[in-house]
Structure 1
Amino acid sequence: MKNPCSRRWRQRLNCTIALLASPWLLFGCGNVDQRLPPINPPFVTIQEPVMTSGPESINSQTVISLHQTQFGASSAQIKVLVDEAVTWPASNLGCADNGGIGKAVLTPGFRVVLEVGGEQFAYHAGRDRQFFLCNTPE
């Protein structure tokens, strides 16, 4: 006949070994931080405005041409205040027009701000460089 105490003792021993070994089974022997992705991705901010002083970029030239077509302003009246690459915090490209609804996804793009006759005009674009006038920038 078998001894019931020895069976109970073996069950407890097996449970203890399993509990002690579980962290090594889950995380291995290496550094946990090297293998697991961060819980929250780093927050990307929109870059500081880049003031242009010199030859204008392709983006500025495109926006100036677009503005002249829409409003008929002359090149002498148009001043480029901001010409920058940005990472928009949402798919609406930083523009609250149309209710400001956009998916909360980081979207690379561009922003060009013109000044014409003391009035500022903000043009936004995504990676495709299809600029549009944003009447209500966020």
Structure 2
Amino acid sequence: MKTITTLAVTGLAALGLALPTTVATAAGPASTSDPRVTQAMFDLAQREGVSMTDISITSLQGGTWNDGSLGCAKEGYVYIQALVHGSKLVFSVDGEKYDYHRSDKGSYFYCEAPTGSFRPDALA
């Protein structure tokens, strides 16, 4: 299993919260230099009551969502029917998977019940 260095989010340290210096990933190298990834990790740690060091990045991919729901449609909502470029981030904690989605213009949000399709960018 490879490890990657994370970038601390300004403000979390001010709250007295310890951030991990490395994050394990089964999917190989993944960039966590984006503070939005660390913010998503913090959200998951709070949501599940675990330490950030208990969270592994399973995958981090750029790609295209099939509509404005970003793969997380909710009943009763209407979404733009256009391709939206963004990212899909999957964490694991004790074998459980947790999806976080975003558009290129937004921050990651937790998607409890992923729907729709995501087409990863082609590797160069």
- TM-score under structure 1 length normalisation: 0.54
Match of 2:7 in 1: none
Which has the larger share of strand? 2
Q: Which has the higher contact order (CA 8 A, sep 6+)?
A: 2
What does residue 88 of structure 1 align with? 65
Distance 2:66 2:109 in 1: 17
Q: Which residue of 1 aligns with 2:114?
A: 137
Cα distance in 2 for partners of 1:54, 1:85 equals 11
Identical-pair percentage: 25
Instruction: State the distance in 2 between where 1:108 and 1:73 align.
Output: 31
String of CA shifts for 1:78-135, please: whole Å, max 9, x gaps: 0100111121110000113335742220111111100011111000111223211111
For this pair of structures, how many residues does the alignment match? 88
Match of 1:127 in 2: 104
Q: Runs of 5+ in structure 1 lacking a partner?
A: 1-50
Q: Could you list the runs of 5+ residues in structure 2 that have no partner in the other structure?
A: 1-26, 116-124
Alignment of 1:104-115 (within 5 A): 104-115=81-92
2:54 corresponds, among 62, 74, 77, to 77
User: Residue 104 of structure 1 aligns to a residue in which SS?
Assistant: coil
Where does residue 93 of structure 2 map in the other structure? 116
Q: What's the TM-score, normalizing by structure 2?
A: 0.60
